[in-house]
Amino acid sequence: MHSSEDTASRKTEGRSIAHKLADKQQEISVTEFFEKNKHILGFDSRSKSLLMGIKEAVDNALDACEEAGILPELKVGVSKCDDDEYVVMVEDNGPGIVHKMIPNVFGRLLFGSRFHSHRQSRGQQGIGISATVMYGNMSTGKPAHIMSKVDDEDTAWMMDIIIDTKKNRPVVSNDEPFIWADKTSGTKIEYSIKGRYITGRQSIYEYLKNTAIVNPHARISFEDPEGKVHIFERATDIMPPKAKEIKPHIEGLELGDLQKMANSSAQKTMRAFLKNDFSRISDRVASEILEKAQVSENFKTANLDRLQCREIMKAVEEVKIMAPPTDCLSPIGDTLIKKGLKHVLEGMRPDYYSPPVTRPPKSVNGNPFIVEAGIVYGGEIPVDGQVTILRFANRVPLLYQQGACVITKAIESMDWRRYGLEQRGGKGIPYGPAIILVHVASTKVPFTSEGKEAVANLGEIQNEITLALRLCARNLKGHLNKKEKKKKTMAKFSIVQEILPEMAQKAAIMLDREVPNLDRTISRIMNVVWVEPSSQTSKGGLRTIQYRIFNYTSTEKSFRLHARLPRSCLNETIISDQLVDVSEEGKVTWSIERLAPSARFTLQFQLDGDMSDVFDEEDIYISGLNPAMVMGADPLPGDWSIADMDVTELENGDGDYVDDDTDDDEEEEVLEDDQ
């Protein structure tokens, strides 16, 4: 039996321990948390930390320039000042930062303008650049030096910033104005950081090169620790479409979020709340949702409780609501993707750029997103290794955690063997001389961590990536098949041209007759219309496109050639006399009439402007002939209208042919396992 004194003693001890534990409990600032868990932000190794700081500064600079409508011009510099200490500099020509806001932007975590806005941007949480300053302070003990000038002010401001991690507040010193010569507006940050400079696939150079691919409107210069300057010139003056802010979409909203929004809404009634605080909800849709949820249209939003929110969310699932608007997104676009790839990968001289694919917009968790993809093949791309995967989210390269990213999982799940790439076992990353590019644009990209290194594995996003890659892969397969067919036909043609003339010459000598003309005989054997493309660019940038067309058949042929030219080149296109039609979309048609057997014809035109190199002379289409007897041109796709063509003019016994590309019907089907 325990005495009453023992019991009292134990109670006293219990209360004493509880009070001691209570004394230790205290609030932790967000800065302290990330200071102790810096790996969450991507600062988990010396080499990665050096890159992450530059990435955050460059992202902010590009966002600022685009919001101000300024073509970005960025300068990045890394210099070594100790064994493992570097000084990093990033300067932009953006709109600058108002003096009183500089300390908060660079010295306070979770402070920014984009967290609550529903539109595409590189920065989202207001953590990146301030976390970079924090890590620099922590690893070297030195402050970050900031300089900024706003275009309507005569003086610029400079200051040194250290972050007080206990309070999540900036500590500012040396705050003073100065004259920034030859600088209209812009911001510059310099900070010291412990790091390790590396080269290779996860290097600063690779990050900036990939940034230039998906931001062809930006000019980026980079000075490495050895003093060598690398310049990624601006490939185009075309700015990306400006993303507009939209209201949140109710689909995918959490119950607690709905209640919080309703209770704090400026709208007084539920009908007005649904209509005015969410996108794509009209009066009719709002009434239908509330009727199904059995909530009065005039019910006060401040009184909405949890059970009513649950019924509203159930009703939302039953009511058909339009997908979120997509003007909040800023996709790169197929033309600029190709422009960026050609501009940056020019040294590899690829044989083939698959026409980039931009998927229709979709929604996940109430947030709209768009997937874009492209494939580059051949040239000097290494043959004996896995394909290179270029992953992007909101125009930002993703260099780390490739295996954890939904983009990689979508690539691995496809059977690339059917498209001409080697793949062991039909799974995993394929092998071959190819580069696969995938870009995911969204108002809120679902990253796997605050470091924004990989996109989370959500089924809706993976499905869209797979559909985009399948279309790119089919285009690649068509290119490889066409290349192989052309190679075999050329071999056959060479044999016929060499052997038949020799036989005819020997027979003529033996029979003492003239050597006969074998053009028609050779044409009868070949039985193809041959289209041979070529291009040449002058020093001034004028690009000449030429098509030599040979009628290696026994009958007269009439047909039309079609191409899609970059829209920006249409006004500067010097066209040939055979041009019969130019559409606003850049679709161009030439008519070739009554090309005699064994005859040849040359079609030539010129392109000027900074987008002229986007056009691939191999992308030529033909109508009016059976595609089986055409070499060097593809059948006209189904999305081209040829209704206005004179059919009698085209018919030559071969019949018209239009390929409607029925493979695209799979967009409406559930994805099947590629195995």
Which CATH number covers residue 398?
Answer: 3.30.230.10
Q: Which range has the worst mean pLDDT, 195-209, 424-438, 612-626?
A: 612-626
pLDDT above 90 for 4: no
Rg from Cα positions in the chain: 32
By C-alpha distance, which of 435, 46, 375, 376 is closest to 204?
46
Work out whether strand 528-537 and strand 156-164 pair parallel, antiparallel, or are unpaired: unpaired
Decide if 363 contacts 442 (C-beta within 8 A).
no
422 and 466 in one domain? Answer: yes
Query: Measured between alpha carbons, how far is 317 from 315 in angstroms, rounded to an integer?
Result: 5
Q: How far apart are CA 462 and CA 149, in angstroms?
A: 43
Residue 288 three-state SS: helix
At CA 71, angle to CA 159 and CA 357, rounded to 5? 125
CATH of the domain at 125: 3.30.565.10
Residues 146 and 68 grouped into a single domain: yes
Residue 646 CA to residue 626 CA, distance in Å, equals 17
Using the 3D structure, point to which of 167, 197, 232 is the last residue of a domain: 232
Same domain, 582 and 652: yes
- Please state which of the ranges 31-40, 141-150, 240-249, 282-291 shows the lowest mean pLDDT: 31-40
* Residue 458 within any structural domain of the chain: yes
Q: Indicate the pLDDT class of residue 670, thresholds 50, 70 and 90.
A: very low
Lowest mean pLDDT among 470-474, 591-595, 662-666: 662-666
- 173 and 46, same domain (yes or no): yes
% helix, strand, coil for the chain, step of 5: 35, 25, 40
The C-alpha atoms of residue 351 and residue 334 are separated, in whole angstroms, by: 18
The span from the CA of 610 to the CA of 540, in Å, is 11
**Are 102 and 224 in the same domain?**
yes
In a domain, 362, yes or no: yes
Statement to judge: residues 468 and 360 lie in one domain:
yes
Residue predicted with more confidence, 288 or 1: 288
Report how far residue 102's alpha carbon sits from residue 188's, in angstroms, rounded to the nearest whole number. 11
Q: How far apart are CA 626 and CA 399, in angstroms?
A: 47
Going by the DSSP 8-state scheme, the letter that residue 351 receives in this structure is S
Task: Identify the band that residue 25 occupies on the pLDDT scale cut at 50, 70 and 90.
Answer: low
CB 469 within 8 A of CB 410: yes
pLDDT at 478: 86
Residue 7 pLDDT > 70, yes or no? no
- Co-location of 210 and 274 in the same domain: no
Number of H helices, E strands in the chain: 15, 24
Residue 10 falls inside a structural domain? no
- Average pLDDT of span 40-48: 74
The span from the CA of 79 to the CA of 85, in Å, is 9
Domain boundary among 425, 457, 478: 478
Nearest CA to 605 among 641, 569, 632, 646? 569
Residues 6+ apart with CB under 8 A from 668: none
Tell me which amino acid residue 630 is: V
CATH of the domain at 267: 1.10.8.50
Residue 663 has pLDDT above 90, yes or no: no
Please, are residues 76 and 221 in contact by the beta-carbon 8 Å criterion?
yes
Residues in the chain: 675
Q: What 3-state class would DSSP assign to 53?
A: helix
How far apart CA 382 and CA 218 sit, in angstroms, is 28
- Are 448 and 388 found together in one domain? yes
- Residues facing residue 387 across a β-bridge: none
CB atoms within 10 A of CB 338: 24
What spatial distance separates the first Cα and last Cα of the chain, rounded to whole Å? Answer: 73
Total count of domains within the chain: 4
For residue 507, tell me if it sits in a domain: no
Higher per-residue pLDDT: 37 or 138: 138
Displacement of CA 556 from its chain's centroid (Å): 47
Q: What are phi and psi of 187, to 5 degrees?
A: -140, 145
**Which tops the pLDDT comparison, 524 or 400?**
400
- The reply to whether the predicted model has a pTM over 0.85 is no
Check if the beta carbon of residue 491 is closer than 8 Å to that of residue 593: no
On whether residue 499 sits in a domain, the answer given is no
Q: What confidence tens digit (pLDDT) does each residue in 595-621 have?
A: 988 888 988 888 876 677 778 888 888
Estimate to the nearest angstrom the gap between the alpha carbon of 548 and the chain centroid.
36
Give the DSSP per-residue string, 87-126.
EEEEE--S----GGGHHHHHH-TT--SSSS-BS--S--SS
Whether the CB-CB separation of 209 and 200 falls below 8 Å is answered with no
Nearest to 666 by CA among 469, 441, 379: 469
Residue 352: predicted pLDDT: 85
pLDDT(325) > 80: no
DSSP conformational letter for 207? H
% of the chain residues with pLDDT over 90: 20
Tens-digit pLDDT profile for residues 625-658: 888 888 888 888 766 654 434 333 333 334 333 3
φ, ψ (nearest 5 deg) of residue 290: -70, -35
- Of 197, 232, 267, which residue is a domain's last? 232
In the chain, pLDDT over 70 holds for what percent of residues?
82
- In this structure, the answer to whether residues 69 and 138 fall within a common structural domain is yes
Helical (H) or strand (E) element with 308: helix 306-318
Residues 72 and 196 in one domain: yes
Per the prediction, the chain carries an average pLDDT of 80
CATH number of the domain where residue 602 is located: 2.60.40.1170
Residue type at 281 in one-letter notation: I
**Structural element, H or E, at residue 340:** helix 334-344
Report whether 200 contacts 53 (CB < 8 A).
no
* pLDDT reading at 180 higher than 80: yes
Residue 15 lies in a domain: no
User: 446 and 312, same structural domain?
Assistant: no
Smallest CA-to-CA distance from 552 within 518, 578, 579 is with 518
Predicted confidence (pLDDT) per residue in 330-354, tens digit: 888 877 788 788 777 777 788 888 8
Question: Is residue 665 pLDDT above 50, yes or no?
Answer: no
Q: Which of 344, 334, 333, 330 is nearest to 235 (CA)?
A: 344
Q: Which two tokens stand for residue 619?
A: 């992308």
DSSP character at residue 626: -
Q: How far apart are CA 215 and CA 208, in angstroms?
A: 10
CB 327 within 8 A of CB 119: no
Helix (H, G, I), strand (E, B) or coil at 233: coil
Let me know if residue 370 belongs to a domain.
yes
Residue 669 pLDDT = 42
Q: What is the pLDDT of residues 244-295, one digit of tens each?
A: 777 877 876 778 888 888 888 889 899 999 998 888 888 899 999 999 999 9
Rounded Cα distance, 206 and 613, in Å? 23
Task: Tell me the per-residue pLDDT of 463-507, one tens digit each, with 9 for 90 and over.
Answer: 999 999 999 999 899 888 888 877 877 777 777 777 777 777 788
458 to 437, 441, 452, 465, 628: CA distances (angstroms): 19, 14, 15, 11, 43
SS3 (DSSP) at 141: coil
By CB atoms closer than 10 A (0-12, 13-18, 19+), residue 590 is buried
Rounded Cα–Cα distance for residues 112 and 106 (Å): 10
675 inside domain: no
User: Are 377 and 454 in the same domain?
Assistant: yes
The boundaries of the domain holding residue 305 are: 255-318
Q: Cα–Cα distances in Å, from 92 out to 44, 66, 176?
A: 27, 12, 20
